[in-house]
């Protein structure tokens, strides 16, 4: 009888992520998401790295280009697809923070899908304390910037790589460039303090200076700098200065990938990516 019970229990437990490249479907309420995954053959007790695509919604390519990171760090790679129908720009790049001028409930913000995905992977892997980090490039960096502004996670690092704009902890710029114009419950200093205490890495390529077709050239964005590289440095310095003036905890760091332009694969493969994530390489390239 016990053997039958154990067999039924095992059958009801979700399968672990398979070794190598894979693609799985997960359903959260009325949203079905595709997760593109990669698990190194020698994966044992390593961390999870969630990788977030840009405006092209090419999560499969981001997964493929993250395979060297998986091997270097001994990490399980998960690249979620935020499709344009379910997650248009206000819900993806801008985080789904406001709708019709009102604050979206905390549990309904797009960043909460990160928490749901983390729980699902932990359940499949049978590791309730599986540590994880987040890295997003360009539009994915924008998404993680808004997540870091308004959503609590237990990620060890939130790596914001080469986005076109940042949500600065100020009321002097309107959202999504700052906290100005948001409902009152999203504008208090406690929000700023929590934001600056989160483990954020601003990770920028020193050659990301071209104002390409996907670059935000609005007047509001240009107040943050004339290039993605300049905006990243300015955003970090603004946040660091505010934390120092207020004597608030500050967990951010600025990491520069020298001689890299607006290219997620080069950013992922750069030696400074380990610094951005706060991880040590398990194997040499």
pLDDT for 22-64, tens place per residue?
999 999 988 999 999 999 998 989 999 999 999 999 999 999 9
145: in domain: yes
In our burial notation (b when 16+ CB lie closer than 10 A, e otherwise), range 98-114 reads beeeebbeeeebbbbbb
Domain CATH for 136: 3.40.50.1820
283: in domain: no
* Mean pLDDT across 174-179: 97
Rounded distance between C-alpha atoms, residue 223 and residue 212, angstroms: 17
282: in domain: no
CB 35 within 8 A of CB 76: no
54: in domain: yes
Please give the helix or strand (H or E) that residue 145 lies within, else none: helix 139-150
Domain count, the chain: 1
Rounded distance between C-alpha atoms, residue 101 and residue 163, angstroms: 24
Rounded distance between C-alpha atoms, residue 166 and residue 141, angstroms: 9
Which residue, chain included where needed, has tokens 């590289």?
Answer: 229
142: in domain: yes
Rounded distance between C-alpha atoms, residue 11 and residue 250, angstroms: 46
Return the pLDDT at 30: 87
284: in domain: no
Return the pLDDT at 2: 43
Return the pLDDT at 284: 52
57: in domain: yes
Rounded distance between C-alpha atoms, residue 245 and residue 210, angstroms: 33
Neighbouring residues of 140: CB distance < 8 A, sequence distance ≥ 6:
51, 52, 53, 54, 62, 161
The domain containing residue 235 runs over which residues? 2-277
102: in domain: yes
Reported confidence tier of residue 1, pLDDT bands at 50, 70, 90: very low
CB 248 within 8 A of CB 193: yes
pLDDT of residue 8 exceeding 70, the answer is no
What's the mean pLDDT when you consider all of the chain? 94
């Amino acid at each position: 009888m016990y053997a039958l019970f154990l067999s039924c229990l095992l059958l009801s437990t979700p399968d672990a992520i398979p070794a190598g490249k894979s693609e799985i479907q997960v359903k959260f309420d009325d949203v079905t998401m595709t997760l593109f995954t990669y698990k190194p053959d020698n994966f044992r007790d390593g961390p999870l790295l969630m990788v977030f695509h840009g405006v092209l919604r090419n999560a499969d390519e981001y997964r493929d280009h993250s395979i060297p990171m998986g091997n270097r760090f001994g990490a399980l790679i998960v690249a979620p697809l935020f499709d344009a129908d379910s997650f248009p720009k206000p819900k993806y790049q801008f985080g789904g923070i406001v709708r019709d001028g009102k604050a979206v409930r905390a549990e309904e913000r797009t960043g909460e899908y990160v928490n749901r995905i983390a729980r699902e992977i932990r359940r499949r892997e049978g590791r309730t304390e599986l540590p994880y980090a987040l890295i997003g490039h360009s539009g994915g960096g924008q998404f993680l910037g808004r997540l870091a502004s308004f959503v609590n996670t237990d990620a060890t690092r939130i790596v914001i790589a080469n986005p076109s704009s940042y949500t600065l902890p100020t009321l002097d710029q309107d959202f999504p460039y700052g906290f100005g114009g948001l409902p009152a419950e999203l504008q208090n200093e406690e929000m700023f303090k929590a934001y600056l205490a989160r483990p954020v890495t601003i990770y920028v390529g020193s050659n990301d200076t071209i104002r390409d077709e996907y670059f935000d050239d609005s007047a509001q964005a240009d107040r943050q700098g004339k290039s993605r590289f300049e905006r990243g440095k300015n955003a970090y310095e603004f946040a660091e200065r505010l934390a120092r003036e207020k004597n608030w905890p500050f967990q951010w760091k600025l990491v520069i990938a020298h001689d890299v332009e607006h290219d997620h694969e080069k950013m992922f493969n750069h030696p400074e990516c380990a610094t951005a994530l706060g991880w040590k390489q398990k194997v040499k390239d």
